[in-house]
Amino acid sequence: MARDEPFAAAVDVADGDSTSSSPTLTRLREALAALSEAFESGDAASSDAAAAAVAEILSASDADASAALAEQMLREVHAFLSSPSSNQMAMDALSLELPKPVAKLGARMGNCRDIARTIIEFFASNCSPRDMLCILCEALDTPVALNGSAYLVILLDGLASTLILIQRRHIEQVKVVLPAILRVMHANLSECDEEHGMSAVDLFSAALRIGNAIQEMCKTMVNHRKEELCSILGLYALQNIALVSSESKHQNIQSTCGSVVLQYSKLLMFCGFTYLGLLTGNDVTSATTKLSKEEDDNFLDCFSFAMDGASLVVNYSWAIKSHSLDLLLTLVDDKCSEETNDHVDFPCSTQIFAILKAIERVMIAAPDTLMRKKAFSALKRVISVVPSTQRFDILQALIENSMFPSLTAILLDLVKNEVLRESRRADQVNGSDRSQDSGESPPWASQVLELVELILRPPEGGPPCLRDHSEEVPFPFVPYYV
């Protein structure tokens, strides 16, 4: 990290504030000056005492200091560290003492969090990464009564920054870090309720950044070491997904964490976990087997919910699809259908077709009847938004790309309803204009006949791809026939 950080320049601007004359801030400046002098003189005993004094001043202020004073104190520490004259030994000494009090002050509102993150990232970049992992893990286990989730998020971000800097013995370091992380994740989630849902989301997002850091580690490894680390990463992702869903009282957390779960799912794909492997649990068993060594028994205990996570990640994908259908039904309401102008330029046919094919997949594969019916309603609603001049082309394309006779029959039924609607509209127009030929066919008539011929006489030959009375209706399509 560069020494000329933006926070350092801000100290002079803030000196005019009332907090600059605070006795606490004055004592902090004196302690930092004493620390610098002690290391310059080579007095090891005085150096350790001076570093402890700086930490004590910050710790004593974390409960009583105002947000403005806390911010100013953090700026002073950052300015000291980023100064060109800063001593490396002084930084090492402060890295042992400051992560906990800095994170506690950073848990306050305003700019405190950003400055605290910058300080801890500075330690990670300029001190021993292996030492910083131990220091930050120890800080994770410190109970914090006020703004505990924000405190943990700052430390987790510091751990993510530190993990990326590890150059050797990656797996050993990860095995030290993950149990501590998952332990505090489980403890803090059990204390969260609906009111603090966003704090839980921030916590899971920070834990995701840990996963992203491990993913970057995996990219630098090869052969069985990479496989082992990918197994650890996959189990870690599943454990977090299970924690998101751990208790029914966390409905708000579950719904808000949808995007985070998707990101965890991407980690699973990177690790080689498949839908079938998650559904059967084979991927979890395989990953556990790769780590089943005598020295890993305690480590595997931290993934006790991984098998539950494998089942939940499969269900989560359907929950997200259900929320997407609800959103689509809300956006494309009946008024939207009524207001569609047949003469309006409609350049989005390709996107609409892609949306309809996605809805079809839900109709075919959804595990419950209600979701399949919801998907069918969404299909009809989206089709109704397409101008009638292009609606037939969309339906024809869906039919031509249909792989299921029963789905083809459903789409043909929609075509029939559209033809009847167009016919009624034509009758109304003819009734209002007596001079018009009442025997004129609706615009769709010839096109429908061509479509029927295409279905009854497939271009590739053979019998038509239609459901007959002897064909059993596939289970997913039962709701559309009852």
388-416 per-position pLDDT tens digit: 778 888 888 898 888 888 888 888 888 88
Please tell me which residue, 25 or 44, carries the higher pLDDT value. Answer: 25
**Distance, first Cα to last Cα, the chain:** 66
Using CA atoms, how far residue 266 sits from 131, 161, 283, in Å, is: 30, 20, 15
The number of angstroms, rounded, from the C-alpha of 480 to the middle of its chain's C-alpha atoms is 34
pLDDT tens per residue, range 227-280: 999 999 999 999 999 988 775 455 555 566 677 888 999 999 999 999 889 988
296-317 per-position pLDDT tens digit: 677 899 999 999 999 888 877 7
Please check the confidence at residue 481 and state whether its pLDDT lies above 50. Answer: no
pLDDT of residue 349: 74
Maximum mean pLDDT: which of 117-126, 184-193, 355-364: 117-126
Reading the block at residue 81, the tokens are 């560290």
Q: Which residues of 379-411 are buried (b: 16+ CB within 10 A; e: fewer)?
A: bebbbbbbeeeebbebbbebbeebebbbbbbbb
Contacts of 334 (CB under 8 A, 6+ apart): none
Q: Whole-angstrom Cα distance, residue 268 to residue 266? A: 5
Amino acid 7: pLDDT:
45
Q: Across all residues in the chain, what is the average pLDDT?
A: 80
Predicted local distance difference test score (pLDDT) of residue 346: 55
The candidate with the shortest Cα–Cα distance to 260, out of 274, 275, 232, 240, is 240
pLDDT at position 433 over 90 = no
List the domain boundaries for the chain.
1-168, 351-480
In percent, the amount of the chain with pLDDT more than 70 equals 77
Structural contact between residues 383 and 414, judged by C-beta atoms closer than 8 angstroms: yes
**C-alpha separations of 355 from 263, 306, 330, 372 in Å:** 22, 33, 15, 15
Separation of CA 225 from chain center: 27
Determine the length of the chain: 482
Q: Which two tokens stand for residue 432?
A: 């209002």
* 39 C-beta neighbours (distance < 10 Å), count: 22
Please tell me the predicted confidence (pLDDT) of residue 182.
Answer: 94
At 35 the three-state DSSP class reads helix
